[in-house]
């Protein structure tokens, strides 16, 4: 049984009460709601048969803010070539498991209104799928799990999923993605990354550059 209001919940199943001499210890497993974020004071009150303690300040606790996902880095951060395995690292203050999607966009003309005729892909943690966007920049063209014997391709780039990997560690998630660019996509490109979590996103961030010869 879980006792819940809009600010917190108590898992009564694993709560315990331990009396010992003059002492009584109440162990309460608590989970705070994201909307209750911030610094809190902990007050305690004891009631006996003939008197009470009144409320006493006994400690402090900070409920963390909602998720703050962010791109961390791309390796290599710059260079040139038709093929390269990039390591895209993202982080979330609530842990890597809070990250819902991790995007990357190679483009010479950054424009959030339209991603047409560019190389844009994203990893969805819940489904363990990498999705490649179509040439029009309007929908998923194809998807596959890292390690699958599949190549995802549009007119600008292809992703070798057979050697793609996902690594999580603490707050960090790294997408290792082998990318091959088409000759028709030659020129200087910006590398943009975007991270989304359970309740926030990073917005697009400029993280590096790459030149397709």
Tens digits of residue pLDDT in 139-186: 999 999 999 999 999 999 999 999 999 999 999 999 999 999 999 999
- pLDDT band (50, 70, 90) for residue 49: very high
User: Radius of gyration over alpha carbons of the chain, in Å?
Assistant: 24
Of 143, 135, 90, nearest in space to 115 by CA? 135
Instruction: Give the range of the structural domain holding residue 199, as residue numbers without chain letter.
Output: 70-212
- Residues 127 and 188 placed together within one structural domain of the fold: yes
Q: Say how far apart CA 147 and CA 197 lie, in whole Å.
A: 24
Confidence of residue 92 (pLDDT cuts 50, 70, 90): very high
Sign of the four-CA dihedral 46, 51, 54, 58? negative
- Residue 138 in contact with residue 156, Cβ under 8 Å? no
pTM of the model: 0.72
Same-domain pairing of 15 and 49: yes
pLDDT in tens, 99-113: 999 999 999 999 888
- In the predicted model, is pLDDT for residue 34 greater than 80? no
Asked whether residue 89 falls in the same domain as residue 13, the answer is no
- Residues 11, 86: one domain? no
Is there a single domain that holds both residue 100 and residue 117? yes
Written in H, E and C, the secondary structure of 114-169 is CCCCCEEEEEECCCCEEEEECCCCCCEEEEECCCCCCEEECCCEEEEHHHCEEEEE
pLDDT beyond 90 at 6: no
Q: Are 147 and 206 part of one and the same domain?
A: yes
Task: Check if the beta carbon of residue 68 is closer than 8 Å to that of residue 93.
Answer: yes
Beta bridge partners of 153: 158
Total domains in the fold of the chain? 2
190 contact partners, CB below 8 Å, separation of at least 6: 106, 107, 108, 110, 206, 208, 209
> Does 207 lie in the same domain as 102?
yes
Return the pLDDT at 66.
61
Q: What is the mean pLDDT of residues 34-52?
A: 88
- pLDDT grade for 94, boundaries at 50, 70 and 90: confident
Query: Is 90 found in the same domain as 194?
Result: yes
Q: How far apart are alpha carbons 43 and 58 in whole angstroms? A: 5
């Amino acid at each position: 049984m879980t006792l819940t209001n809009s600010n917190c919940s108590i898992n009564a199943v694993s709560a315990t009460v331990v009396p010992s001499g003059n002492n009584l210890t109440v162990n309460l497993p608590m989970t705070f709601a994201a909307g209750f974020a911030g610094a809190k004071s902990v007050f305690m009150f004891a009631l006996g048969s003939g008197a009470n303690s009144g409320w006493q300040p006994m400690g402090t606790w900070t409920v963390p803010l909602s998720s703050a996902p962010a791109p961390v880095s791309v390796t290599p951060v710059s260079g040139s070539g038709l093929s390269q395995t990039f390591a895209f690292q993202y982080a979330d203050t609530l842990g890597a498991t809070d990250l819902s999607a991790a995007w990357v966009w190679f483009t010479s003309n950054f424009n959030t209104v339209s991603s047409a005729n560019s190389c844009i892909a994203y990893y969805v943690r819940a489904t363990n799928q990498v999705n490649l966007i179509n040439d029009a920049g309007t929908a998923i063209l194809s998807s596959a799990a890292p390690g699958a014997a599949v190549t995802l391709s549009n007119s600008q780039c292809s992703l070798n999923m057979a050697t793609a990997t996902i690594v999580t560690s603490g707050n960090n998630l790294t997408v290792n993605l082998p990318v091959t660019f088409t000759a028709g996509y030659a020129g200087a490109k910006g590398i943009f990354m975007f991270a989304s979590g359970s309740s926030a996103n990073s917005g697009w961030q400029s993280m590096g550059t790459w030149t397709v010869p």
